[in-house]
Amino acid sequence: MPMDSTTLIGLVLGFIAIVGGHLAEGGHIASILQPTAALIVLGGTIGAVCLSYPLKEVIGALKDAVGIFKEDKTDPNVLIDLIVQLANKARKNGLISLEDDAQSLEDPFLKKALTLVIDGVDPQILLETMEIELGCKEERNRLKARVFESAGGYAPTIGILGAVLGLIQTMQNLSDPSKLGSGIAVAFVATIYGVGSANLLFIPISNKLKVRYREVIVRQETCLKGVLAIQAGENPHLIKEILQAYLSETQQRKE
């Protein structure tokens, strides 16, 4: 699966801008590479996040975060065409003729909704059942996005804590000038790590996850609307026109 260009560009550009600006001002890479500061900020942030959320949510968020570096190649027009094909078949041969098609579907949400239609479930009950599933999935996704959003809130504060610890170390070694530099460096670099990781990593990842999750929900809403239209015996051409309302302007132009 190809890389998501916007994720990669954003990450690289942000890093280059910060480091490049530091070098342009006459700084050195070594001056901002402080393992102690990184340990304080990252360790403290991870600890705060683990204290705030169940482990399974943290692991789930990390797995989904890896996915933002991969481009989502799902084409909603293909989904709409599939639903229209199912509608044409159901109109000609009846809903029961879709039984084999339902079993071969890869999308579990569409498969479940279509199976319920074939089983003769009342449209209102079908709508309520699938909307409950949609709502639960949306809430689970929102919780995983909040894991990184919370990390973005904790990191700057932990960075300030690291700065204070560095200054304490500096004050304790006022009699030894050779140790003053390292203490001050940890103090300032910890703040940079905290603010930088929050605004260049954690919060952007949270926002990207929200976008990806919303795209999934929209696709499933499209599936539900299409299946209900098939159950109602709507004209396939009309179904296509209705479902295209879920597409973005770019996707509509592509169609």
What 3 state SS string does 104-140 have? HCCCHHHHHHHHHHHCCCCHHHHHHHHHHHHHHHHHH
35 pLDDT tier (thresholds 50, 70, 90) = confident
- The rounded distance, in Å, linking the Cα atoms of 104 and 76 is 18
Supply the mean pLDDT for the chain: 88
pLDDT at 29: 82
pLDDT at 156: 95
* 27-36, 132-141, 159-168, range with the lowest pLDDT: 27-36
* Contact of 204 with 149, CB cutoff 8 Å: no
Taking phi over 0 as left and psi of -120 to 50 as alpha, with beta for the rest, 27 belongs to beta
DSSP string across 65-105: HHHTTB-----HHHHHHHHHHHHHHHHHH-GGGGHHHHHH-
pLDDT of 181 above 70:
no
167: closest CA among 154, 185, 150? 185
Per-residue model confidence (pLDDT) at position 188: 84
As a whole number of angstroms, the distance between CA 135 and CA 32 comes to 45
Q: Phi/psi class of residue 33: alpha, beta or left (left: φ > 0; alpha: ψ in -120 to 50)?
A: beta
Judged by average pLDDT, the poorest of 24-28, 175-179, 201-205, 242-246 is 175-179
